[in-house]
Amino acid sequence: MFNNSLCQFLILALSLLPLKSVACQQADVACNLPIPTLKFDPSGSSAWYPYYINTGEKRGIVTDVVDVILVNANINGQEVILPPMRTNLSLENAVVDFDLINPDWLSEEKKSSRYVFSDTVIPIKEHIIYLAGTPIPKDLGKDEQLKGQSLGTVRGYYYHNDHLFNRLDYPSEKELVKALFRKRITFAISGDKPAQYWAKALSVPIILGPIHSDGFLRVRLRKELEYLLPQINHAIQTLKVNGSITRIIDSYI
């Protein structure tokens, strides 16, 4: 006959089994599948401020938000820093497992079936930018106006309509602002916050012109890991409701 202590232990153990099952069902998680350490690249360009910062104590909005998402999703992460062009290839070759990207940046053919996208995470906006005092053509930024034009862009970045214009690639948003100042280019495409930061840091009078894209960064996850998406989305929604993502963004603005 079992002693009382052993009986109490067995009753407690059995009572916990359904709880795990219920928790898995609530999060819609495939509980029996492995949860690997996910490799990710938060860097964008080396000057994607304030989304990624490679010096000082602060590490950037994307890095901080990814950290809290993974903690809340109970998933381990490993940061891998790569140039933008290598990040895209590394996703295809499973060197990294996910990044954060705005699907609006992608043309239809680049919205590959090899990836799945999370719920929205961080709002992000791109503009046509130019020096103050630059003569502005009619309908600047519209598809018809862009045809055949040359625009400053960041090497390795996606632009949903770059088949319309000639890309003049530079290593980062910082270099775009410097190229505008030196009049090597007349117009460029940049996120509003990186353009404003580097314009102020370099004392260059930049104008944010027409919006080129307006959307949200989402987790772009390799299709083989789709079973982790419910966990990730559950974490994102929790962090939205409790204000954590907003507080991180506000701490950089």
Together in a domain, 169 and 232: no
Mark the ranges of the chain whose per-residue pLDDT is less than 50: 1-29
Together in a domain, 150 and 202: yes
| Cα Rg of the chain, angstroms | 22
**pTM, rounded to two decimals:** 0.81
pLDDT at 22: 35
pLDDT at 218: 96
Whether 130 is covered by a domain: the verdict is yes
pLDDT at 86: 66
Together in a domain, 208 and 100: no
Is there a contact between 154 and 136 (Cβ–Cβ < 8 Å)? no
**What is the tally of structural domains in the chain?**
2
Whether 18 is covered by a domain: the verdict is no
Cis-peptide into 50, omega within 30 deg? yes
Together in a domain, 50 and 161: no
pLDDT at 29: 47
With H, G, I as helix, E, B as strand and everything else as coil, classify residue 127. strand
pLDDT at 114: 84
pLDDT at 108: 75
Together in a domain, 197 and 219: no
Here the tokens at position 65 are: 């938000």
Together in a domain, 67 and 116: yes
Here the tokens at position 195 are: 């353009």
CATH number of 198's domain: 3.40.190.10
Together in a domain, 116 and 144: no
Angle ∠(171,193,173) on CA atoms, nearest 5: 10
Whether 237 is covered by a domain: the verdict is yes
Whether 55 is covered by a domain: the verdict is yes
Kindly list the strands in the beta sheet with 150-154, ordered across the sheet, starting from the edge strand earlier in the chain. 77-79, 38-40, 98-101, 206-222, 115-131, 188-191, 150-154, 166-170
Together in a domain, 228 and 116: yes
Whether 28 is covered by a domain: the verdict is no
pLDDT at 61: 94
pLDDT at 136: 94
Together in a domain, 68 and 192: no
Whether 11 is covered by a domain: the verdict is no
Together in a domain, 205 and 176: yes
Together in a domain, 113 and 164: no
Whether 141 is covered by a domain: the verdict is yes
pLDDT at 87: 66
Together in a domain, 105 and 138: no
Whether 3 is covered by a domain: the verdict is no
Q: Which domain holds residue 167?
A: 125-212
Is there a contact between 67 and 123 (Cβ–Cβ < 8 Å)? no
pLDDT at 32: 61
